[in-house]
A and B are shown apart, each in its own frame.
Chain A
Amino acid sequence: METLQLDLDHGLRSFRLELALTIGKETVALVGPSGAGKSSVLRAVAGLLRPERGFVTLGSDTWLDRERGIDLPPERRRVGLVFQEYALFPHLDVRGNVAYGARDRRTVPGLLERLRIADLANARVTELSGGERQRIALARALAREPDVLLLDEPLSALDAYTRRAVRAELHEFLKELQMPTLLVTHDFEDAATLADRVGVLVDGRVLQLGPPQELVGSPSDPFVASFTGANLLQGIASPGRDGLTEIALEGGGAVWTTDQGSGRVAVAVYPWEVSLSRDIPNDSAVNHVRAPVSSIVSLGNRVRVRVGPLTAEVTASSVARLALDEGDVVVASFKATGTRLLPVA
């Protein structure tokens, strides 16, 4: 299995797509808001879009090199692309779809079996559920025996219920595949579950690329922090007591962090670092925000509670113990070590 390398420079409607990636036997996810140029990256790798400058190579094969005038058409690049809406051929049955690009038709029954669609082999693709359609699209792409797999928003066409199951399943599948895989999604949680490395793409540029825990643990930029789910508080940093940095918040009040910094900053706090109580607790947390509860959203055994400028993620039982209701004034607390200081451009 070979390494996929790409370096692209292409003008999109309101910004330039400029990015370079090296993908080995791993899954890399590009995550970003819609319109960040994610799909264009996949299309450039697949040969459906010709970037103004750049190259795409797989091992020693050059698929694209604008300087040398090389641009292989899609059918000559060994790439499997799973489209966002799957793009299954409506005039063919499931087997016909999977066999369409098969390098060796004898592999088709095995693929149908492996993706649990053998029972549907003769079904019309238009009659199937989202999860089934996704597995067909995956089988069809793999039948081509690609050297690179590209997935465009693989989960966005699914309803919330199917999505969780398919995400776990797809994660296992990609791990076994051991092939350079590039996927794009607008959902950080999807990216973090599916990929070994995640790149945050905004306006055509990768702000940060690394393992998901690194993006959460030390976001390099306020956008990355908020995209990975952190609360952001803006303010002015200056040296404070006990070697901590004090941040005078824009909206009044102050918080403290163990990170060093000065000037205009953003403080990132993940919701799971925030605890809730009726009164200021007598524990090691130095940061307290007293504010009314504006919303309470239950997500299974977790509850997201919006308190003033912060979102806290706490257990359902602690919400019950506090007997929380919208409008109640509570104290949201978090430790100085639970924060990240990020410079504001």
Chain B
Amino acid sequence: MRLAPFAAFLAVATTASLAFLLLPIVAIFAELSPGDLRDGLTSEVTRDALRVTVETNLVAMALIILFGTPTAYLLATRRFRGKALLVTLVELPLVLPPAVAGIGLLAAFGRLGLLGGTLDGLGIDIAFTKVAVVLAVTFVASPFYVRTAIAAFEAVDPDLVSASRTLGAGPGRTFARVALPLAGGGLGAGAALAFARGLGEFGATIMFAGSLKGVTQTLSLAVYQEFDVEFDNALAIGALLVVASALILLMAKLVLAWRRSNSTLITVSVPSASS
């Protein structure tokens, strides 16, 4: 069988892209014997880093959802001057180099930073603590959630919101009983994306929180530290992060696909229901 030149070109380019994207991931597992994997995952460094990662990311996700959801709802449903600018500002951390995010957080919350004096007066020192990890993750990951959440709230038919109001529900109850359930799938997907980004956070964290084992050293930071100490450990942690990230991505896709197939199922079932 002979492929047409263009089809052949597409096939070659796609094969090259996939091979390049998959090779490093395959290499992590290929370089790692099962025994090394077990030792790496049970090492003290890994266990400490896992604990720090889970703790800080859970708190960061709670903050992102708690503040991000109302922010996204306001930005999605209100029209005002300068809204586009505000949305752009919310999205800025997406494109900001992580090192810049780290130096910015230091400049704001560090001992010599903008709010440093105030915080110092209150006896609070954030830099190089778990709080710093939480702030770094929140700063870097929240745009992933807020952006998706804005789109999800915008997709809710404004007539449904109006209908809820004329049926006696105030703005708060309307948010809880109409907007939130209808945007739920999008919010879930956004949260998954933000969580995946948070797990991988490196640059801002290492600048603002450092890499103190058991305190601020997350899994990503542990990979960096271990790679010239105990390379197999670094590989094992890498494998763990690959699996976790893949699972989160898969979950986000499943949630979105489920919402979509659910809504298409409805349209498809109309003729069969009437027959």
Residues of A within 8 A of B (CB): 43, 46-48, 73-75, 77, 79-81, 83, 85, 87, 89-91, 100-101, 103, 124, 126-127, 129, 140-141, 144
Chain B residues with CB under 8 A of A83 = 159, 162-163
Residue of chain B at shortest CB distance from A152 = B159
> Does B273 lie within 8 Å of A87, measured CB to CB?
no
A-B interface, 4 closest residue pairs, ranked by CB to CB distance from nearest: A101-B167, A74-B165, A87-B159, A87-B163
Please indicate the chain B residues that have their CB under 8 angstroms from the CB of A140 in the complex: 167
Those of B217-275 within 8 Å (CB) of chain A: 263, 266-267, 269-270, 273-274
Selected contact of A100 from candidates B164, B263, B270, CB within 8 Å: B164
Given contacts A83-B159, A89-B178, contact A73 B165 (CB under 8 A): yes
Most buried by A among B162, B163, B273: B163
Interface centre among A77, A85, A100 (most CB of B within 10 A): A100
CB distance from A291 to the nearest CB of B (A): 46
- Look across to chain A and name the residue whose beta carbon is closest to the beta carbon of B165: A74
Pairwise interchain contact A48-B165, C-beta atoms closer than 8 A: yes
Chain A residues with CB under 8 Å of B165's CB are: 47-48, 73-75
Q: Shortest CB–CB separation between residue A85 and chain B, in angstroms?
A: 7
A90-B182, A101-B167 provided; 9 other pairs, C-beta below 8 A?
A46-B162, A47-B166, A81-B162, A87-B157, A89-B178, A91-B181, A100-B167, A127-B266, A141-B166
A243 CB to nearest B CB, Å: 57
Complexed CA–CA distance, A119 and B169 (Å): 27
Secondary structure dominating the interface of A: loop
Known: A89-B178, A91-B182. A101 touches B168 (CB 8 A): yes
**Are A127 and B182 closer than 8 Å at their CB atoms?**
no
Q: Do A74 and B266 touch (CB < 8 A)?
A: no
Interfacial chain B residues near A85, Cβ < 8 Å: 159
Of A46, A90, A103, A124, which contacts B166 at CB under 8 A? A46
Contact bitstring B118-148, A, C-beta under 8 A = 1, else 0:
0000000000000000000000000000000
Distance (whole angstroms) from the CB of B212 to the closest CB of chain A: 46
A127:B166 contact, CB within 8 angstroms: no
Q: Are B274 and A101 in touch, CB under 8 angstroms?
A: no
Verify if B34 is at the interface (C-beta below 8 Å from A): no
Partner of A144, one of B162, B167, B270: B167
19 A–B pairs (Cβ distance < 8 Å), ordered by A: A43-B162, A47-B165, A48-B165, A48-B166, A73-B165, A75-B170, A80-B166, A81-B162, A83-B163, A85-B159, A87-B157, A87-B159, A89-B164, A89-B178, A101-B164, A101-B167, A101-B168, A126-B267, A127-B269
Which chain B positions have C-beta within 8 A of A101?
164, 166-169
Residues of A within 8 A of B171 (CB): 73
Query: How near does chain B come to A116, taking the closest CB pair, in angstroms?
Result: 17
For B168, the chain A residues whose CB sits under 8 A away are 75, 101, 103, 144
Greatest chain A CB density within 10 A among B166, B263, B270 is at: B166
Q: Chain B: interface residue count, which band?
A: 20 to 34
Q: Write the nearest CB–CB distance from A143 to chain B, whole angstroms.
A: 8
Contacts of B170 in A (CB 8 A): 73, 75
Taking the nearest CB of chain B, how far is it from the CB of A51, in angstroms?
16
CB distance from A38 to the nearest CB of B (A): 16
In the complex, what residues of A have CB within 8 A of residue B269's CB?
Answer: 127
Interface string of B198-227 (1 = CB under 8 A from A): 000000000000000000000000000000
B171 to chain A, nearest CB (A): 8
Do residues B162 and A48 form an inter-chain contact, with CB atoms below 8 A?
yes
Provide the bound-state CA to CA distance between A43 and B166, in Å: 10
User: Taking the nearest CB of chain B, how far is it from the CB of A130, in angstroms?
Assistant: 11
B271 CB → nearest A CB, Å: 11
Nearest chain B CB to A46's CB is how many angstroms away?
A: 5
Kindly state the separation between the CA atoms of A70 and B29 in the bound complex, as whole angstroms: 69
Q: Which residue of A lies closest to B272 (CB)?
A: A127
Closest Cβ of chain A to B147, distance in Å, is: 23
Nearest A residue to B184 via CB reads A91
Q: Is B89 an interface residue (CB 8 A)?
A: no
Chain B residues within an 8 Å CB radius of A126: 263, 266-267
Bound Cα distance A73, B273 (Å): 40
The chain A residue sitting closest to B266, CB to CB, is A126
Give Cα A43 to B165, complex, Å: 12
**A198, B168: Cα distance in complex, Å:** 29
Complex Cα distance A126/B165, Å?
Answer: 21
Distance (whole angstroms) from the CB of A261 to the closest CB of chain B: 47
Q: How far is the CA of A47 from the CA of B169 in the complex (A)?
A: 13
Whether B166 and A81, one on each chain, are in contact in the complex, defined by CB atoms closer than 8 angstroms, is: yes
Residue of B nearest to A79 (CB): B166
The answer on a CB contact under 8 Å between B273 and A127 is yes
A91 nearest CB neighbor, chain B only: B181
Distance in angstroms between the alpha carbons of A126 and B160 in the assembled complex: 14
User: What separation, in Å, do the CA atoms of A37 and B270 have in the docked complex?
Assistant: 34
Smallest CB–CB gap between B199 and chain A, Å?
31
Residues of B within 8 A of A43 (CB): 162
Question: Given the complex, which residues of B lie within 8 Å of A75, measured CB to CB?
Answer: 165-170
Q: How far is the CA of A48 from the CA of B267 in the complex (A)?
A: 30
**Bound CA–CA A77/B163 (angstroms):** 13
A47 and B273 CA atoms in complex are apart in Å by 38
A87 & B182 in contact (Cβ 8 Å cutoff): no
B-chain residues with CB within 8 Å of residue A79 when the two chains form the complex: 166
Residues of B with C-beta under 8 A to A81: 162-163, 166
Chain B 166-199 interface mask (CB, 8 Å, partner A; 1/0)? 1111110000011001100000000000000000
Min distance, Cβ A72 to any Cβ of chain B, angstroms: 11
Interface contact B182-A124, CB-CB below 8 Å: no
Name the B residues within 8 Å of A87 (CB-CB). 157, 159-160, 162-163
B 150-166 to A, binary, CB cutoff 8 A, 1 in contact else 0: 00000001011011111
